[in-house]
Structure 1
Amino acid sequence: MWIESLQPLPQPYRWAEFLAFHGRDASQRSELLLAQQQRLYKALIWDGRPALLVLDWDAQQVRVRLQGTGRGGEERLQAMLKRMLGLAYPPAALERSQAGHAELGPLLAAQAGLHVPAAPTPFEALSWAIMGQQISVAVAVSLRRKLIEAAGVPLEPATQKLLPEAADLLAYPDARRVAALDLETLRALSFSQAKAQTLLAVARLAAAKTLPLDEWAWQSARGLWDEAAVAEAERQLLAIKGIGPWTVNYCLLRGYGWPDGSLHGDVAVRRAMGLLMQKEKPDAAKPDALQARLWLEQFKPWRALVAAHLWASLADQSY
């Protein structure tokens, strides 16, 4: 059974960030990005079983199909799609509010339509954030690929036959499947002791529903998340050994689309911030974490969206 939905796109909508995020692994183990055909295949776990998500798009809309069933399937699929496209908390208010800002305004204008893509599930976002702590993107991508190959689930034969181009994809493992791994297995996959311990702790808590990652997504999709609810999510995540503010705020952005986590500790954010400030003051130095935090404070409640613009500026020389 296939569930389908159609999502109109705001105008303008930049695809660069979506393509970069879902195409970050050239080996494409759980996703297959066909940029020229404007299609993405994503293998994931849906209601405990491997399923295939198919996105097709043009300039105006995105059509999504998911092989799966389950209670509230259409509503859950629509919420997932909005998160993946960065539509859960639209960024237009940031662009309007800060258009006249001396440093940020020109960047917002040059990158109009930037939306922050998210992972299909909060667990995938959080596990990716854990893998990405204090290492390069290339190394984190390698760890992610090894985890998928160790714990991912093949698509069902009927799906493989129907869509042979996606037949080799493995569904990104859910919390239950990662929790079934042991420390030695993750260490053999090149995870550090600390990363392995943190990933297993998160997976076991999420699998037991003690860490309600999916419930938070449901609340967010229904407009029930506010600063108090996010603060509670932050508290629970920070209580897990090995998770710090950067991991939390990155997960909130990539897993839920939450626009206001402060990513002042991110090295790339600070580097881009320094380059941006040098446009106004050529002798300005790259800010440290404290200076970055204070600079980002002026953009509440959109600090994470500002960080996404700073990330994009390092790859975009059009401004």
Structure 2
Amino acid sequence: MSVIHCDIFLPAGFRPQDILAFHRRDGERLAERVDDDGLSKGLLWRGRPACLDLRFAAGRARLALAVDGDAGGEAEAALEGMGRRMLGLNQPVEAFERQYRGHPQLGPLIAARAGLRVPQTATPFEALAWAITGQQISVAAAVTIRRRMLSLCDCRHSSGLLCHPDAARVAALNADQLGEAGFSRAKSRALLALSQAAVGGELPLDAWLDGTPADEVSERLLAVPGIGPWTVSYALLRGYGWLDGSLHGDVAVRKALGIALGQADKPDARQTQDWLQPFSPWRALVAAHLWALLQAGGF
């Protein structure tokens, strides 16, 4: 086993509770274990089972990654990069808040949760797998299906934590296995098509982290059968930190917008899209504030 470390300094007003809420989704704690000051998470590091331990203390995040095997070259720099993404530190939320703190509906949401950042997944594939899993079902149902998928792949770190599978491990499954885990036929096809394309190099998910334009990523992902605009916008937000996806079709976003507008009923998708449009290039960050209004940080 090899262990690598890094410390990441956090900006004033950083909100650790948002990071912890995101990783606290699964109460069975098979792949993530969250406590008062941090979390442990099973993940694959360059194909090897690993456990990330992240602790918040005195204006910094302290990361330790225990890898079952060799961590590989330039591991400390790669760990810092992953950590900064997971913490949302690449998101320029200060500029967003300066611009909209006086907005009649959005301003109060910003004031209530100043410094809100969108927690990101360890890898883009994890974000896409979660987005496909969560299509048109509740968070609780998606968490259960995700747990079954992780158990099905059974990639486990020596600590006992399950690791989120990579594309190669999911591509090795078949539709019947995914169906037994709770995936619909359409979701099974989408997840397998995504995984196989990632393994084959048609979808270089990790390479796109280097700044590939969101429009190009979106176009490539939309070509995968079963992946639509909501899935792409959500995955771009959680996997790549892109803050301009229009999540107008999201039921929770629509419900929260109705509350923010003081309406008895939630607006429809078109009305929500029209309301979000002027906030470009921040529409997904606005959606995150609306999620937070419903205490939906874990999604």
1:236 aligns with 2:211: no
Runs of at least 4 residues off by over 4 Å: none
1:268 aligns with 2:252: yes
What secondary structure is seen at the aligned counterpart in 2 of 1:250? helix
Alpha-carbon distance in 1 for matches of 2:49, 2:200: 20
Q: TM-score, structure 2 length as denominator? A: 0.94
Change in Cα spacing, 1:182 to 1:61, as seen in structure 2 (3 Å) is same
Change in Cα spacing, 1:305 to 1:59, as seen in structure 2 (3 Å) is farther
One-letter amino acid of the counterpart of residue 42, structure 1? K
Q: Deviations over 1:147-187 (max 9, x none)?
A: 0001031213xxxxxxxxxx221111111001000111111
Moved more, 231-240 or 56-65: 56-65
2:279 aligned residue: 299
1:24 aligned residue: 25
What secondary structure is seen at the aligned counterpart in 1 of 2:206? helix
Q: CA RMSD in A?
A: 1.4
Alpha-carbon distance in 2 for matches of 1:231, 1:303: 15
Q: TM-score, structure 1 length as denominator? A: 0.88
- Work out which of the residue numbers 302, 310, 317 in structure 1 matches 2:290: 310
Number of residue-to-residue matches in the alignment? 292
Alpha-carbon distance in 2 for matches of 1:201, 1:43: 24
Identity over the aligned pairs, expressed in percent? Answer: 51
Preserved CA contact (<8 Å) 1:9 1:59? no
Alpha-carbon distance in 2 for matches of 1:189, 1:50: 22
2:65 aligned residue: 66
What secondary structure is seen at the aligned counterpart in 1 of 2:257? helix
Which stretches in structure 1 are left out of the alignment for 5+ residues? Answer: 157-166
Alpha-carbon distance in 1 for matches of 2:144, 2:39: 21
- Work out which of the residue numbers 201, 210, 213 in structure 1 matches 2:193: 201
1:161 aligned residue: none
Which stretches in structure 2 are left out of the alignment for 5+ residues? Answer: none
Q: Compute the displacement of 1:59 (Å).
A: 4.8
1:215 aligns with 2:216: no
Q: Deviations over 1:65-119 (max 9, x none)?
A: 1124123322221111111111122311110010111111111111101111011
What secondary structure is seen at the aligned counterpart in 2 of 1:50? strand
What secondary structure is seen at the aligned counterpart in 2 of 1:262? coil
Alpha-carbon distance in 1 for matches of 2:78, 2:154: 22
Preserved CA contact (<8 Å) 1:143 1:191? yes
What secondary structure is seen at the aligned counterpart in 2 of 1:213? coil
What secondary structure is seen at the aligned counterpart in 1 of 2:53? strand
